[in-house]
């Protein structure tokens, strides 16, 4: 079976790390799937694919389309921008169709919201379109309308969590949805000695005093990732010993719905808290292991929470907003600490507990690593996605006839 993934970006964010983990698991398990990737911008993802000897190509998206987003800005401005971009969208879809034909796929696996729309508009008639739902759709302005217009072209969708599936079916009820949670490469993301001095060096910081506790937020600079909440909570947290705060990440999209490093630096100065900044790195396991505490601070419900799963797999103490798909990834007080989403005081209190108690950090980290191996198995996801493809290829009738929600039970995360 030939599958081409349509990736909206060439950078490596959460959805792209999930894709790379899936490709590795297929290769390890001997699945008879021939993958390819067509990215809509160049970037580190292409190098990762070439290292894996995966067929890949780039078809750059026009700037007007790359900058089109509906998670920020006013309603009228968003709708006007969408209407003005429609001719460019149609033109680019025609060009994309020719590139997709070169892959001769059986299935086009669209790996993001823009990819869902473009794949459905550009798919050759000889293949089926599958949507991978990494994000909530219902809260967006244009996405439900646009995806609803092309829903008849989608043979099925897979959601990374129950929360995402339920939200999607409310917004776009015509597409059948399965739930297959994300996986983590637990051979790579695993417990090990951390090198805090290495992280300090990347941030341009001097040698830290003995016993320094390193606390970090790992996230892209999207507005809803809670960088401002993290900075304010860090300013409120009190510690009897030395502590260093880090923000690891950066912008990966061309839309305006993200923060800048300068903006975050200004906020940290206003809050009178020292925060070190490190760009997103390919050596993410080393980043997690260099931290003593990993923070998830999203201020909107998380579709899944890959950082939570990866940090747990590395045996690190995690504090996370207990909402959306993230709520099902951990047991509060057993393998991570949860707090009410957006609650600055509660996050600061959790940080204080973890900074002050090394035994608490170690106990949570040990339990987290065990939970991650049980819940986020790559072989499970690889098998379930392959089975999903087979069901799509064997399906018949209209999309409306097949609509509904199907949980992939082997991959369910216990709530």
Each residue's pLDDT tens digit, 223-241: 999 999 999 999 999 999 9
pLDDT of residue 21: 95
CA distances for 6 relative to 10, 41, 111, angstroms: 10, 11, 6
Minimum mean pLDDT range among 24-38, 124-138, 164-178, 250-264: 250-264
Give the E-state strand segments of 93-179 in sequence order. 107-110, 128-133, 154-159, 177-179
Per-residue pLDDT band for 396 (boundaries 50, 70, 90) equals: low
pLDDT of residue 411: 36
What residues are paired with 407 via a beta bridge? 179
Per-residue pLDDT band for 324 (boundaries 50, 70, 90) equals: very high
| Residue at token pair 């396991």 | 285
Domains and CATH numbers, the chain: 2-183+378-411 (3.40.50.2000), 196-375 (3.40.50.2000)
| Percent share of the chain, pLDDT over 70 | 89
| Residue at token pair 């990440």 | 249
The pLDDT of 156-177, averaged and rounded, is 95
- Report the candidate in 175, 178, 127 with the shortest Cα–Cα distance to residue 150: 175
The pLDDT of 147-175, averaged and rounded, is 95
Average pLDDT, the chain: 89
Rounding to the nearest 10 degrees, give the CA dihedral for residues 244, 245, 249, 250: -110
pLDDT of residue 258: 79
Return the higher-pLDDT residue of 382 and 67.
382
- The b/e string for 131-167 (b: 16+ C-beta within 10 A; e otherwise) is bbbbbbbeebbbbbebbeebbebbbbbbbbbbbbbbb
**The model's pTM:** 0.82
pLDDT of residue 145: 86
Q: What is the pLDDT of residues 1-12, one digit of tens each?
A: 999 999 999 988
Minimum mean pLDDT range among 200-214, 254-268, 312-326, 361-375: 254-268
Per-residue pLDDT band for 155 (boundaries 50, 70, 90) equals: very high
| Residue at token pair 């823009």 | 114
Return the higher-pLDDT residue of 269 and 67.
269
pLDDT of residue 376: 95
Per-residue tokens: 222? 């999207």
pLDDT of 306 over the 70 cut: yes
pLDDT of residue 77: 45
The pLDDT of 357-379, averaged and rounded, is 97
pLDDT of 104 over the 90 cut: yes
pLDDT of 81 over the 80 cut: no
Residues 226, 38: contact at Cβ < 8 Å? no
């Amino acid at each position: 079976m030939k599958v081409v993934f349509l990736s909206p970006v060439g950078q490596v964010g959460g959805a792209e790390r999930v894709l790379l983990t899936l490709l590795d698991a297929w290769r390890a398990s001997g699945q008879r799937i021939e993958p390819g990737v067509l990215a809509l911008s160049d970037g580190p993802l292409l190098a990762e694919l070439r290292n894996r000897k995966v067929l890949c190509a780039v078809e750059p998206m026009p700037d007007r389309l790359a900058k089109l987003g509906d998670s920020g800005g006013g309603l009228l401005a968003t709708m006007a921008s969408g209407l003005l971009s429609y001719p460019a969208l149609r033109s680019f879809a025609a060009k994309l169709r020719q590139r997709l034909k070169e892959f001769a796929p059986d299935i086009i696996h669209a790996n993001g919201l823009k990819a869902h729309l473009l794949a459905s508009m550009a798919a050759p008639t000889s293949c089926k379109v599958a949507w991978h739902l990494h994000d909530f759709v219902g809260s967006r302005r244009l996405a439900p309308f646009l995806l609803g217009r092309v829903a008849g072209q989608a043979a099925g969708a897979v959601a990374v969590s129950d929360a995402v599936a339920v939200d999607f079916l409310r917004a776009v009820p015509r597409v059948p949805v399965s739930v297959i949670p994300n996986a983590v490469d637990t051979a790579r993301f695993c417990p090990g000695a951390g090198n805090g001095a290495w992280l300090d060096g990347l941030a341009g910081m001097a040698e830290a005093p003995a016993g320094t506790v390193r606390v970090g937020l790992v996230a892209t600079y999207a507005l809803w990732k809670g960088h401002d909440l993290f900075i304010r909570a860090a300013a409120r947290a009190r510690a009897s010993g030395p502590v260093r705060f880090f923000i690891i990440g950066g912008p990966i999209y061309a839309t305006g719905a993200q923060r800048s490093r300068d903006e975050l630096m200004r906020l940290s100065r206003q809050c009178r808290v020292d925060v070190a900044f490190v760009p997103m790195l390919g050596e993410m396991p080393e980043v997690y292991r260099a931290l003593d505490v990993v923070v998830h601070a999203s201020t909107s419900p998380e579709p899944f929470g890959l950082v939570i799963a990866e940090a747990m797999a590395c045996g690190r103490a995690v504090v996370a907003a207990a909402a959306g798909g993230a709520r099902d990834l951990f047991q509060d007080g057993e393998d991570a600490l949860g707090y009410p989403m957006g609650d600055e005081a509660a996050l600061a209190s959790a940080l204080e507990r973890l900074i002050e108690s090394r035994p608490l950090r170690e106990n949570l980290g040990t339990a987290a690593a065990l939970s991650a191996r049980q819940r986020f198995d790559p072989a499970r996801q690889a098998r379930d996605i392959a089975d999903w493809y087979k069901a799509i290829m064997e399906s018949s009738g209209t999309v409306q006839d097949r609509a509904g929600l199907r949980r992939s039970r082997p991959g369910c995360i216990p709530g």
